[in-house]
Structure 1
Amino acid sequence: MRRDRIQTPVWLASIAALILFSALALQDTFGGVAERTVLVRLAAANPAIMFIRGVPQGTGAAAVLIFTVLAFLGVMVGLMNTFLAVRHLRAEEESGRADLVASTPAARVLPALATLVYGLLVNAVLAIAVAGCLILAGQDASGSFVTGLALAAIGVVFLTVGGVASELMPSARAANGLAVGAVLVTYLLRGIADAFGAVSADGLSVESAWPAWLSPIGWAQKTRPFTEDNLAPLLLNLATASLLVGIAVLVMARRDTGASVLATSSGRMAALPTLAGPFGLAWRLQWPSIVAWCVGAAAFGVFGGSLGTAVATSDIADSPIADQLARLSRGGDTLTEAFISVIFTIVGIVAAGCAIQAIVRMRQEESHVGGELVLATPVSRYSWAGAYIGIGAIAIVLVLTTGATASVLAALAVGAPEESIEDSVLAALAQLPAALLFLAVVALVWSVVPRLTAGLGWGLLVLSVFLGIFGALVGLPDWTADLSPFSHTPVPSGADTDWGGGIVMAVLALVAGAAAFVLFRRRDVESA
């Protein structure tokens, strides 16, 4: 608890704040039954929406809220718990601290037991916080507590998934990769089940297909907060978590401290020619995560390309939803342009996240002595830092290109007009300056205060997303939204697109990037 005194409260506060602001925004935007009916029927008629969001269960305000946020919050809760488990299990063994604890009278199993108890307490606090925020937003207490328990049950399952991953994998990085992959697979299973669900005759509710029973997130949806309040599906979470705890304990009892079920491969006798320089090494270390970010961008691209025209031709065009889209997009001559602009703002956020991860990885290499080993060779500081920053810029282009390509293909598949396809390409291009600005600013933070790279980098992104997207929804002043780079990205309007904001951000990115190189040259390498 002492070691997690900052990051765990930040996770809990972020999840609670997201559900509170979402509830308040929903009341402001879809306060009437007519508006919610349009939204629910649009979702039920479009598998792409259900793949991303979940399945609607009626037009009640609280039910629509759950449809909108539960699956996404499930992913956040899953990531919080997998990172927590790996941080206190495999990472402790990797650093050698587990050996120090084992040398005391404490039993070897006690750190794992402490992690389990601590994780359960965190999820209990999460359940209370979520329920409290929903009640504060004016929702029914019974459904609020069911929602909190459903999210906590997802967390407990993935806490144990992180524990098993820590037993199987030889490093914290590999364990995190396996655990995050499990979270994404369960989200994918839930999405497939929801997309192929059976729509009711009135088009106001959907019953998920059978793959939902293979996903902890799907089990949470089966509780149907605010409509049925059925806690029975959460018994599956309890049974799965108990089984995974048993597997982790069984493996732990049969391996040495620091060992793993899946051993590290010996690798090649000689390195590939692509690893002869810092750029090849930086790419080798980061390409799996870049692929994962591209997959996320592709999912949103399909969503935007397949629904852009449908949004403009549906009943949503004559509802308050259209006004909200125009407000979020800050312009656009048509509803299709506004919708695509909003979707590609999310793709831009994904690209910025990928860029930030590149800089965070550079900081990790520096802090784990890998950077010092490379810099002990004839490689210059400029070459080493430039490789990671260059990979970050390439990653941005790849993410945006993937999102745009997926959107174009989806638009062609549904027979969208040529203008819609052009809007997707322009919207993707418009996100490039904002993402590059995040890359350069976080690189500048790394060059000045390297220990704060990850915290400030991700914090700036979260703050920018909140101010740029959710600020207007919860009634914050307009000037707060202007603090976010995503509020200044160009909005596609054909030949009339205003690229002024993008040009300014591109210039700022160049200045910040140059400053990062100069300041890194003037400081010591920090390996701790």
Structure 2
Amino acid sequence: MSAATAVEVPKAGLLDPFTGTGHLIGFMLRRDRVRIALWTLIVAVLYLVSLAPGGEYAVLNDDPEARAARALTLSSPAMIAMGGPGYGLDDYTMGAAVANELILWMVVALAVMTILQVVRHTRSEEESGRSELMRAGVLGRHAPSLAVIVEVALTNLIVATAGMLALVVMGLEPADSAVMSFGIALAALVYGAVALVTSQLSESSGGAMGMAFAVVGATYVARVVGDIQEPLGSPLSWLSPIAWVHQTRVFVDTRVWPLGIAAVVALALLAVAAFLGSHRDFGAGMVKVRRGRADASPLLNGPIALAWVRQRTGLFWTAAGLGLMWFATGSILSEVPNMLKAVGDNPIYAELVKGGAEDMIKTFAAFIGGYSAFGAAAYAIIMTLRVKAEEDATRAALVLAKPLGRFRWLLSNALVAALGSLVVLVSGIWAMGLGAAATGVDEVGFGDFTVLALAYVPAVLVIVALALALYAWVPQAASAVCWAVFGWMFLVLILADVLDLPDWVRGLSPFWWIENTMLESQPLSHTLGLCAVALALLLVSMVGFRRRDIHG
């Protein structure tokens, strides 16, 4: 027998469905090592800064009267929506405050990370054609799905361990810290399983991500409405993975069994994903694409139309999911004065409580508008960097083989990503305005929300241009650098005053240059400056893209 025939390769149909999973796990971990390190660092720093001397929760811990006053406000619908149902209010310790007020945001942050990773390694790989090449070898049908779930589970485990250690270092009970940190990781894993299901339903990565983000938004609304109806947990709130972590009641009356619900639901979703994956064609989604016209519309002729077709599904679902979140947030603006009246000495909220009730509502609305703008910025990074996926899949080379200049192709994709980001921005802030109007808030009008949204437009455009410039010059590092910048901007938004950062450091974030347009006008110099930065980055990206080769 010759060496060439000594080893028999199993036929694809005879392979175990999970063959090659171990190799894929190692490959994914190596590929995402920078992302994992960045997320771990961001979570640990957020905990450490919040709990450090001078931080928000340390300030409360040193002032019993402030803790008692804050506990009174946590029964208001506004605080329930922004935090949790409010356990341990009779003795509001620092641990209870951390659990009530940080769990929601940590679950959402890790859910976003998990969804991005799952879609990146499943549906995006099918879109690019790389998964088909790998399956031509010895690779089982379900190996990619199992590998990515194991990878995100390990990632969340690492992040949770870092978060637990940060909580313990700052003086909180180890057992409760572990339940909280690993409960957050388990809830995020549920959303990862949701993303695996949506990756079977949609044939585009944008659609899969958008539907998963819509589920995050819907479960957030379910938790808010349910907890407002019954703080101890109504049937509606129990439909949300976020509520399952809150129901552990860590640092108050810790119980672990609600996390069993998350484990069971995650396993059930994985089973659904496996079933769907076994009953669909490779490369296709369970939701069939609607038949198009026999002849394309003249509007679909050109690179802009191609970019729009590639991004429209993700835009729809992302705008819908985030819109639900911001609508629910806007509906509690009327409770803001009651929520903030007792925390005027806290440096985190000092700016929010200046002036009367009207100023409080306007300032808080502008504060939440900043979060909405960050959602648009995240969308901008994801969609702008889709050009790298197009290049890696050699589709860019095929398109550019036609009489189409590389600048026109690049700018067409950037234009659609920028317009989509602005749609997410404006629709989110408008949704908040609709929620406020629906609950009778008349201190702030629809025009105020529109002005606020428009003020953030240049900052979002800077993010688009930055992602484009990084792709043009350092495509392999573009994603990691963009998300590192995003994490830094978020820390500046929420912790700049606590850390007493100098203005020049804060000014590195484009969002710092946006004023509270609810109370004062946006300086023209700031707007023009941000536009100039965006234009400069765009020119830099064109220079870099012209100087390098296109893959394929």
Shared fold (TM-score, shorter chain, > 0.5):
yes
Taking a change above 3 Å as real, the CA distance of residues 426 and 443 of structure 1, as seen in their structure-2 partners, is: same
Code of the aligned partner of 1:238: A
**2:104 corresponds to which residue?**
71
1:123-153, CA deviations, whole angstroms, 9 ceiling, x for partnerless residues?
4434322221111122122211110231232
Aligned with residue 66 of structure 2, among 23, 30, 35: 35
Q: Can you give the 5+ residue segments of structure 2 that lack an aligned partner in the other structure?
A: 1-28
Q: CA deviation at 1:83?
A: 4.2
* 2:309 matches 1:284: yes
**1:146 corresponds to which residue?**
179
Aligned with residue 469 of structure 1, among 475, 478, 494: 494
Code of the aligned partner of 2:93: G
Q: CA deviation at 1:454?
A: 2.2
1:242-273, CA deviations, whole angstroms, 9 ceiling, x for partnerless residues?
43444555666x56994667276484343333
SS at match of 2:348: helix
Mapped to 2, the partners of 1:525 and 1:276 lie a distance apart of 23
Map 1:62-461 → 2, pairs under 5 A: 62-88=95-121, 95-96=129-130, 100=134, 103-104=137-138, 115=148, 117-165=150-198, 175-196=208-229, 198=230, 206-247=231-272, 258=282, 262=286, 265=289, 267-268=291-292, 269-295=294-320, 298-299=323-324, 302=327, 305-306=330-331, 308=333, 310-311=335-336, 313-314=337-338, 316-317=340-341, 319-320=343-344, 324-327=348-351, 334-417=359-442, 423-461=448-486
Is the 8 Å Cα contact of residues 75 and 184 (structure 1) preserved in structure 2?
no
Taking a change above 3 Å as real, the CA distance of residues 158 and 281 of structure 1, as seen in their structure-2 partners, is: same
Paired positions, count: 515
RMSD, matched Cα: 3.7
Taking a change above 3 Å as real, the CA distance of residues 49 and 283 of structure 1, as seen in their structure-2 partners, is: farther
Is the 8 Å Cα contact of residues 467 and 483 (structure 1) preserved in structure 2?
no
Q: Which moved more, 1:260-269 or 1:143-152?
A: 260-269
SS at match of 2:416: helix
1:381-402, CA deviations, whole angstroms, 9 ceiling, x for partnerless residues?
3332232232233234323432
Taking a change above 3 Å as real, the CA distance of residues 524 and 327 of structure 1, as seen in their structure-2 partners, is: farther
**1:2 corresponds to which residue?**
30
SS at match of 1:320: coil
Q: Percent identity?
A: 26
Mapped to 2, the partners of 1:63 and 1:508 lie a distance apart of 43
Mapped to 1, the partners of 2:493 and 2:270 lie a distance apart of 41
1:25-55, CA deviations, whole angstroms, 9 ceiling, x for partnerless residues?
3324533344344444434322x54334332
Q: CA deviation at 1:210?
A: 0.5
Is the 8 Å Cα contact of residues 377 and 463 (structure 2) preserved in structure 1?
yes
Mapped to 2, the partners of 1:67 and 1:477 lie a distance apart of 30
Q: CA deviation at 1:340?
A: 2.8
Q: CA deviation at 1:229?
A: 0.8
Is the 8 Å Cα contact of residues 214 and 321 (structure 2) preserved in structure 1?
no
Mapped to 2, the partners of 1:301 and 1:184 lie a distance apart of 9
SS at match of 2:236: helix
Q: CA deviation at 1:230?
A: 0.4
**2:50 corresponds to which residue?**
22
1:213-259, CA deviations, whole angstroms, 9 ceiling, x for partnerless residues?
2233222221111111100112222323343444555666x569946
Q: Which moved more, 1:482-491 or 1:468-477?
A: 468-477
Taking a change above 3 Å as real, the CA distance of residues 217 and 306 of structure 1, as seen in their structure-2 partners, is: closer
TM-score normalised by structure 2 residue count: 0.80
Mapped to 2, the partners of 1:514 and 1:118 lie a distance apart of 38
Is the 8 Å Cα contact of residues 84 and 119 (structure 1) preserved in structure 2?
yes
Taking a change above 3 Å as real, the CA distance of residues 374 and 507 of structure 1, as seen in their structure-2 partners, is: same
* 2:76 matches 1:45: yes
SS at match of 2:349: helix
Taking a change above 3 Å as real, the CA distance of residues 33 and 288 of structure 1, as seen in their structure-2 partners, is: farther
**1:201 corresponds to which residue?**
none
Mapped to 2, the partners of 1:111 and 1:425 lie a distance apart of 44
Is the 8 Å Cα contact of residues 336 and 420 (structure 1) preserved in structure 2?
no
Mapped to 2, the partners of 1:489 and 1:421 lie a distance apart of 19
Taking a change above 3 Å as real, the CA distance of residues 478 and 40 of structure 1, as seen in their structure-2 partners, is: farther
**1:203 corresponds to which residue?**
none
Q: CA deviation at 1:297?
A: 5.5
Is the 8 Å Cα contact of residues 308 and 420 (structure 1) preserved in structure 2?
no
Is the 8 Å Cα contact of residues 56 and 348 (structure 2) preserved in structure 1?
no
